[in-house]
Structure 1
Amino acid sequence: MTALLVLLGLTVVGSVVPAPVVALGPGPTFDTLGEVNGTPVVSAEGLPTYPTDGHLNMTTVGVTDGITALRALGLWASGTHRLAPRSSLYPPGESAEQVTAQNQQEFDGSIANAEAAALTHLGLPTRVTVGALTDGSPSAGLLVEGDEIRAVAGTPIDSVQTLLDTLGAARPDVPLTMTVVRGGAPRDVTITPGSHPGDPARAFLGITPATSPVAGQELTITLGDVGGPSAGLMFSLALVDKLTPGPLTGGRFVAGTGTVDAEGRVGPISGIQFKMLKAQEVGAEVFLVPAANCAEAAADAPDGLNLVRAGTVGEAVSALETLEAGGTPAGCS
């Protein structure tokens, strides 16, 4: 009788008390060529656009939080989820709101990089702009988001890298003049850099630069309630598809994942097994895999899903073109 009561007590506790874990599994997927709540995920203004076909789905990892021990055990036993310490996603001392804000910041950065990577791949004219400003930084109140940066300390700025190199020579507390264009009018702005939080010898201005299309042209990526940087590749491909004649997918259902930098290099992500499961579930035929994730993906690939290696945006475009031509692009092994 005592043992039965103990078992009953453990069962009650296990079904009520939250466990210190989260469950990771397949998350939502969105077609970057389509619409969400009536709004196109990707759009362009002031540039010629072309009809698309098929799907270019970005994939996510779902996080189930606040689960009981019994619920956690059930998810683990399903074979489609993995348990992880809650502290690995929500570090001690950081609130869920802070983690969400960090994920949103990463997502916003991935959008800027995706736009830059697409523009670079297509060889379209670009300009360097202020993508974001850090609150309370030396640039706050002097620059605004969207300012076009033409020169820094007399050095013409023609790329984000040139800007970073030029700012790398700046020193804390030594004023420098930036020439920016705002509202069509150039102006000189003098900013006194502070000290970088991680290295007091480095200058800190609080600017996040972006590669933007020329004035009169605008790229827009809109997708709410999604955080993190791993949709960058699929956003870039959607822009390339909409800005070039002929459907990039050839009408296929293509899904994928991968971070992307402004130069179009595709970076690794976590949770690829869950993303592949979701892609298979919704009917994807092809899955674009970051080169660094290829071995992991090949080991867990669902049946019937064609894995295609993507080391850069250019490689991904070429792979899809090869498929359309009846060829076999580089896969994962």
Structure 2
Amino acid sequence: MKMKPLGRSGLTVSEFCLGSMTFGVQTPEKDAHAQIARALDAGINFIDTAEMYPVNPVKPETVGLTEEIIGNWFASTGRRSDVILATKHSGEGQNFVREGAPITSKTIRATLEGSLKRLKTDYVDLYQFHWPNRGSYMFRKNWRYDPSGQNRDDVVADMEDCIGALQREVERGTIRHFGMSNEDVWGTMTWNAIAERMGGPRIQTLQNEYSLLCRLADTDLAELCLNEDIGLLPFSPLGCGYLTGKYQGGKVPEGSRMTLSPEMGGRKGDRVLDAVDAYLGVARDFGLDPTQMALAWSARRPFVASSIFGATTLAQLDHILGAADVELSSELLEALDTAHKAHPMPY
């Protein structure tokens, strides 16, 4: 298992991160615990979760359940120190969490304390905001994202308020490092300028969607990450399962995400199936498993710290772990780029 630095944090993480958003809905607790153990045995030392998990769908009665499942594993095994643990504070508009309130200095401590209690730990290695209060172009909003209604002074004041609260948690020892999710270049640079001016925690990581099907991070964000030592943490590196090929030909496997979210969060459409066909063809041409190829590609990009995958079952996890052994030749990378040029942003 290849290891990489996590921003400027001084932490080193595995190039693959175990995602957990199925724990508690699609993946029962016993199976989730087996996944954690298997992932650590394979050399993975990084687990990502969030207070609002599990998802697909998010329900008020299950909010926080994933953190509880992970916490129960820590309590039963005593292996908290073996894991770099990341979780997230939900943002504005998630009505099942704090009635959709935005992230502020008044919500951070109580929210973090809730996560720590559920996770049965005294600290989180990486504490992330799930999305910025001002909104985000992620989640297929890139087609209509309009920041013209923002008031810069208000946005900066909001960031300053949050950085101050985060620094107090750093001083308490409850969080070690800070990261953002679904953030852009301007936001990241502004967060870090404020952190430097105020003496608060800088952004070490960005957790944004990134895969062969969604390469929004390839230009400005890539340059930012490389020059500012910020590690990208791709989520949905398999395009919500599309890149496995399991949805081709109109198939909807039992228990798959499409059975729970038929529109796949706005990703469903003929263009995505055509794009997947192209990538499946590349995998065949190079004698590779398409799932492992897509995961290895996402993890080996020069601005990526660790690629976050999710597995519903232990068998899926075992299959995914084979990505660690995939070699990406220059010829393969060129073929993937050619497919991307023919099928850019299919959703």
TM range (shorter): under 0.3
Higher helix proportion (structure 1 or 2): 2
After TM superposition, the score normalised by the length of structure 1 is 0.27
| Higher Cα Rg, which structure | 1
Give the number of the structure with larger relative contact order, counting CA–CA contacts within 8 Å between residues 6 or more apart: 1
Higher strand proportion (structure 1 or 2): 1
